[in-house]
Amino acid sequence: YAGLQRNREEPYVLVTPYSSDNETLQDQMWRGINVDPAVVALSDNWARQHDLRTAQRFPWDQTKGIYILHGFHNLHCLKIIYISLSEYRRGLPQSRSWHHISHCLDALRRQIICDADDTPR
């Protein structure tokens, strides 16, 4: 929709700050993922032209709907799955519902199927 090009190469590495043995750093990295830019208000005309469903109304302009950008939704999902696993590992009560976690797992599954990468690792 924005004309982004998929031309970023991400080298394969075994350990990143998101998978560090330093759990404090790992926690800071995952919890620091900002998904605030995910929410956008789009005009109904623009949404119709791009075959998007009618969305929840934007409170300040009823001719617009509220949408979540897909890439940010996926980051949100990874973040809450990390939080859920972290809470489980630490014996803490779950702060996210199972329904939300399973929705995120399914969203990521569908995204992987759609964007399957055949790069050998």
Over the stretch 13-66, which tens digit does the pLDDT of each residue have?
A: 889 999 999 999 999 999 999 998 889 999 999 999 999 999 999 999 999 999
Query: What residues form DSSP beta bridges with 68?
Result: 39
Over the stretch 74-105, which tens digit does the pLDDT of each residue have?
A: 999 999 999 999 999 999 999 999 999 999 99
Q: How far apart are CA 82 and CA 79, in angstroms?
A: 5
Report yes or no: 20 and 26 within 8 Å, Cβ to Cβ: yes
Report yes or no: 30 and 79 within 8 Å, Cβ to Cβ: yes
